[in-house]
Amino acid sequence: MDKNYYLGRRSIRRFTDREVPSALLDEILEMAGRAPTCGNMQLYSVVVTRDAARRRELAALHFNQPASAGAPVLLTVCADFARFTRWCEINHADAAYDNFLSFTSAFADAMILAQQITTIAEQSGLGTCYLGTCIYNAPEIARLLELPERMVMPVACLAIGWPDGEGVATERLPQRAWVHEERYRADADEDIVSLYKVKDEYPANRPFVAENGKENLAQVFAEVRYPRAMNEEFSAKLLSWLSF
Amino acid sequence: MDKNYYLGRRSIRRFTDREVPSALLDEILEMAGRAPTCGNMQLYSVVVTRDAARRRELAALHFNQPASAGAPVLLTVCADFARFTRWCEINHADAAYDNFLSFTSAFADAMILAQQITTIAEQSGLGTCYLGTCIYNAPEIARLLELPERMVMPVACLAIGWPDGEGVATERLPQRAWVHEERYRADADEDIVSLYKVKDEYPANRPFVAENGKENLAQVFAEVRYPRAMNEEFSAKLLSWLSF
């Protein structure tokens, strides 16, 4: 096992012009397809976007983040109960998977697959970056990629290509912050402050506070990057689109 | 990269009595904690269950599946916005993360972490098995593990230990079934039948059809393993508990 890879893992947002061969991508997907899956149902699909014009359209739905606009390949990983449901219908089986429980199963399957693709692609020398915006514009991305309605939802988009540069190391909370022994440990406020010091004091994070006219990093997250109005607007859009 | 590991990967449901050293588990979690995370927010927590009595209580909530009852360690991976929200509140930031969009971000973070733990644990020689039932009894598991209400949801449980035996190889759909070029390919029914032949004809799957008095494997899935009444009941329970 490559400990150095796991400990030093970084997202890559800039890529060279070098192509990602189809044979290499196929091999990565073949390996990733052996990842665990709920009841061996493989409740996922992957749409591969290579065409330049379509990449531009897709990148626009990812707010033209640099990783989306510059990657030679975008993989949209979808939670997919449509294929399985059609197989059931063909077999005269009473399939009921258009509900929230089934959505969570397919979501989990898709994320497991996405992370397996990420690890294997990176261990093949490629650089990757998740585009979390996939969920924000899920209905629009579904339309662009011609996903079947209702039971196929894009949940993760991966930008993939050959790294241009080494990426940027980011800080992480101490393990103690997120690992709990036997029961969830309700930390006192002073402990939370202490656990998040690594973020508050991380040199690369400091400029964001002044740039955004805020008092501290938490306000940058809660009021600029992931603000209430945005969260509530996109939540309403998604829930209405999914209509559980 | 260990292609043989990825291509031959299997879940392990039976474990020896040998203990999993804390130092090894800590090392695995340290490496896994470098996995990608939404906006570097680390929207997850992991509760480690080792105590025998608590393992029995937790296994009961996983319907006493063999992997849950026999594993020396159970890891419950949670989508967690509670810690981040408290950090925001302490910093007088207006945090609004008790909504569906935020839930999907934390769910994705937790699954990425869970899969990274799985891969690293397996590459360390351990065996693992996901307990998908985690979501079915999320409210009850949350109570047992004393998770804060509303913003911490258990989404994946991993049974971990030293393998007793090699596990069972399972079939997978051909890659063509779940990989789509440029746009989602709407398969004709005869193509779906052909893609699922590997499942219908897999020797280990065949006994399930007769045992359950069904005509085919799809009916075993849709009417016995993941039936409508169960899906709808657990969906209603979860949605009411999460109350987006």
What one-character-per-residue DSSP string does A199-221 give? HHT-GGGHHHHHHTT-SSHHHII
Class of the CATH domain delimited by A3-168 = alpha beta
pLDDT for position B1: 78
pLDDT tens by residue, B80-129: 999 999 999 999 999 999 999 999 999 999 999 999 999 999 999 999 99
**Chain A CB within 8 Å of residue B180 CB:** yes
State chain A's mean pLDDT as an integer. 97
State chain B's mean pLDDT as an integer. 97
Cβ-Cβ contacts under 8 Å, B36 against chain A: 9, 11, 115, 118, 129-130
Return d(Cα A34, Cα B236) in angstroms, integer: 32
- In SS3 terms, chain B reads as CCHHHHHHCCCCCCECCCCCCHHHHHHHHHHHCCCCCHHHCCCEEEEEECCHHHHHHHHHHCCCCHHHHHCCEEEEEEEECHHHHHHHHHCCCCCCCCCHHHHHHHHHHHHHHHHHHHHHHHHCCCEEEEEHHHCCCHHHHHHHCCCCCCCEEEEEEEEEECECCCCCCCCCCCHHHHEEECCCCCCCHHHHHHHCHHHHCCHHHHHHHHHCCCCCHHHHHHHHHCCHHHHHHHHHHHHHHHCC
Provide the pLDDT confidence category of residue B149 given band limits of 50, 70 and 90. Answer: confident
Out of B38, B80, B218, the one facing A88 most closely (by C-beta) is B218
Q: Does position A129 have pLDDT exceeding 90, yes or no? A: yes
DSSP A239: H
pLDDT for position B190: 98
Q: In angstroms, what separates the C-alpha of B212 from chain A's closest C-alpha?
A: 13
**Chain A CB within 8 Å of residue B213 CB:** no
pLDDT tens by residue, A207-241: 999 999 999 999 999 999 999 999 999 999 999 99
Does the distance separating the beta carbons of B48 and A179 come in below 8 Å? yes
Which SS3 state, helix, strand or coil, does residue A179 take?
Answer: strand
Return d(Cα A153, Cα A44) in angstroms, integer: 9
Q: Does position A74 have pLDDT exceeding 90, yes or no? A: yes
Out of A119, A155, A170, the one facing B119 most closely (by C-beta) is A119
Residue A59 CB neighbour total at 10 angstroms: 23
pLDDT for position A21: 98
Q: Does position B150 have pLDDT exceeding 90, yes or no? A: no
**Chain B CB within 8 Å of residue A112 CB:** yes
Q: In angstroms, what separates the C-alpha of A221 from chain B's closest C-alpha?
A: 8
**Chain A CB within 8 Å of residue B80 CB:** yes
Cβ-Cβ contacts under 8 Å, B124 against chain A: 1
HSE, side-chain direction, 13 A CA sphere, residue B167: 19
Does the distance separating the beta carbons of A88 and B222 come in below 8 Å? yes
| pTM of the model as a whole | 0.98
Does the distance separating the beta carbons of A145 and B87 come in below 8 Å? no
pLDDT for position A1: 78
Domain boundaries defined on chain A: 3-168, 175-235
Does the distance separating the beta carbons of B120 and A94 come in below 8 Å? no
Which SS3 state, helix, strand or coil, does residue A36 take?
Answer: coil
Cβ-Cβ contacts under 8 Å, B83 against chain A: 177-178, 187, 192
Cβ-Cβ contacts under 8 Å, B50 against chain A: 181-182
Q: Does position A173 have pLDDT exceeding 90, yes or no? A: yes
Provide the pLDDT confidence category of residue B64 given band limits of 50, 70 and 90. Answer: very high
Whole-Å CA distances, A85 to A81, A96, B198: 6, 8, 17
Segment A36-52 shows an average pLDDT of: 98
Does the distance separating the beta carbons of B34 and A6 come in below 8 Å? yes
Count of all residues that appear for chain A in the document: 244
Q: Does position B40 have pLDDT exceeding 90, yes or no? A: yes
Q: Does position A149 have pLDDT exceeding 90, yes or no? A: no
**Chain B CB within 8 Å of residue A122 CB:** no
Segment B198-206 shows an average pLDDT of: 96
- CB-based burial, A162-179: b 16+ in 10 Å, e otherwise: bbeeebeeeebbeeebbb
Provide the pLDDT confidence category of residue B220 given band limits of 50, 70 and 90. Answer: very high
Cβ-Cβ contacts under 8 Å, A146 against chain B: 183-184, 186
Provide the pLDDT confidence category of residue A150 given band limits of 50, 70 and 90. Answer: confident
Residue of A nearest to B54 (CA): A182
Cβ-Cβ contacts under 8 Å, A234 against chain B: 101
pLDDT for position B39: 96
Cβ-Cβ contacts under 8 Å, A25 against chain B: none
Q: Does position A206 have pLDDT exceeding 90, yes or no? A: yes
Percent of chain B with pLDDT over 90: 97
Cβ-Cβ contacts under 8 Å, A96 against chain B: 222, 227-228, 231-232
Provide the pLDDT confidence category of residue B223 given band limits of 50, 70 and 90. Answer: very high
Segment A102-113 shows an average pLDDT of: 98
Residue B15 has phi, psi (to 5 degrees) of -125, 150
Segment A40-47 shows an average pLDDT of: 98
Segment B187-215 shows an average pLDDT of: 97
